[in-house]
Amino acid sequence: MNSRRLSHLKLPSAFALLAIAGFSVAATSRPSRAQGAADLQARVAELKESSAKNKQALAQYTWKETVKIILKGEEKKTEHFQVHQGPDGKPVKTSLDPAPAAQDASGGRGGRLKEHVVEKKKEEYKEYADQMKELAQHYVPPDKDAIQEAFQKGNISIVPGGDIPGEVKLVIHNYYRPGDSVTLRFDKNQKQLQAISIATYMNDPKDAMNLTVAFGRLPDGVNHVSAVTIEGVSKQLTVNTTNSDYQKM
């Protein structure tokens, strides 16, 4: 029997071995994928439960909020508010700052013109800062229904690299705007959020906005947003918000 005939006889055996090997790899990977999916589902369920529980608990509290608006590295304005949750779950704010003093109408035409220009610029950055804060409310705190929708669409995943033991990183794409990204650091032992990083944009994708959110814990275990930094990249405008002095109503 010549070598060509022998090689033809050996081919089926080779294909059989390859098929067996492929089946073994597939069989081994199935439990791994299933385990990953089950782990993701469990973390999402914990995150949703934690978000809903803390939102309900915070409805019993009032707290102070300090907002600093910084333009190109220079602090332009500081505001203070007393805050509580409204019936719709959104924050209700009452200003703690005194009413602004009346502008002195005296002075020449040049002085009044300069004041007008300055006031107009102030209004522009304040309006933009207000738009930034309004957009941030769609991300912070995370909404359990939006999290569930992201899970159902396959837009949420677990990534390795937690900074502390028991920490899990969940990444959500297309959370509120197409192409945005939300990274949540979740303590699966405490069942509480530790921090959030968000990359999104204003009305135009070229007008980027970045947010970093830190969380704190009250003595009774309630998890709350302790600090938010919003960065409007194109305007070089930053809004720093800190929450403190939580008191039960």
Q: Which residue has the higher pLDDT, 27 or 165?
A: 165
What are 74-101's pLDDT values in tens digits? 999 999 999 999 998 889 999 999 987 6
- Nearest-angstrom CA–CA distance, 99 and 120: 19
Q: At 219, is the pLDDT very low, low, confident or very high (cuts 50, 70, 90)? A: very high
- Asked whether the predicted pLDDT for residue 31 surpasses 80, the reply is no
Q: Does residue 161 form part of some domain?
A: yes
| pLDDT at residue 29, rounded to an integer | 45
With respect to residue 136, please indicate whether it lies within any of the assigned structural domains.
yes
Q: Which of 149, 150, 96, 138 is nearest to 228 (CA)?
A: 138
Residue 27 has pLDDT above 60, yes or no: no
- Domain of residue 194 covers 55-98+106-248
Element (DSSP H or E) covering residue 230: strand 223-232
Q: Answer yes or no: is 232 within a domain.
A: yes
User: Quick one: which of 248, 201, 200, 199 has its CA closest to 224?
Assistant: 248
The whole-angstrom separation of Cα 96 and Cα 94 is 6
Residue 42 falls within a domain, yes or no? no
Count up the domains in the chain and report the number. 1
Binned at pLDDT 50, 70 and 90, residue 125 comes out as: confident
CATH number of the domain to which 217 belongs:
2.50.20
Per-residue pLDDT at 183 exceeds 90: yes
Least confident interval from 96-105, 156-165, 223-232 = 96-105
- Residue 17 CB-half CA count within 13 A: 5
Task: Give the whole-angstrom CA distance, residue 201 versus residue 79.
Answer: 24
CB 202 within 8 A of CB 232: yes
Q: Is residue 27 part of a domain?
A: no
Using CA atoms, how far apart are residues 221 and 224, in angstroms rounded to an integer? 9
How confident is residue 215, by pLDDT bands cut at 50, 70 and 90?
A: very high
Instruction: Examine the pLDDT at 113 and tell me if it is beyond 80.
Output: no
Task: List CB contacts of 249: < 8 A, sequence separation 6 or more.
Answer: 60, 61, 62, 84
Per DSSP, the residues of 22-87 read HHHHHHHHHHHHHHHHHHHHHHHHHHHHHHHHHHHHHTTEEEEEEEEEEETTEEEEEEEEEEEE-T
Contact 76, 56 (CB under 8 A): no
Which H/E stretch holds residue 116? helix 109-136
User: Contact, 40 vs 48, CB < 8 A?
Assistant: no
**Is residue 7, in this structure, part of any structural domain at all?**
no
Q: What pLDDT digit, counting tens, does each position of 133-144 carry?
A: 999 999 998 888
Bridge-based pairing state of the strands 74-85 and 167-173 = unpaired
- pLDDT band (50, 70, 90) for residue 188: confident
Task: Quickly state the pLDDT bin for 178 (edges 50, 70, 90).
Answer: very high
Q: Looking at the predicted structure, is the pLDDT value of residue 186 above 60?
A: yes
Assign 220 a pLDDT band (cuts: 50, 70, 90). Answer: very high
* Residue 224, in any domain of the structure: yes
155 near 173, Cβ under 8 Å?
yes
Residues 145, 154: Cα–Cα separation, whole Å: 14
User: Which structure tokens are listed for 102?
Assistant: 């009346």
Asked if the structure places residue 65 within a domain, the reply is yes
Write down the mean pLDDT value for the chain. Answer: 83
pTM of the model: 0.77
Segment 192-212, tens digit of pLDDT: 999 999 999 999 999 999 999
Look at residue 100 in the predicted model and tell me its pLDDT: 77
Kindly report, residue by residue over 10-25, the tens digit of the pLDDT.
445 544 444 444 544 4
| Closest to 229 in 3D by CA, of 216, 218, 214, 217 | 214
Per-residue confidence at 176, pLDDT binned at 50, 70, 90? very high
More confident residue, 186 or 110: 186
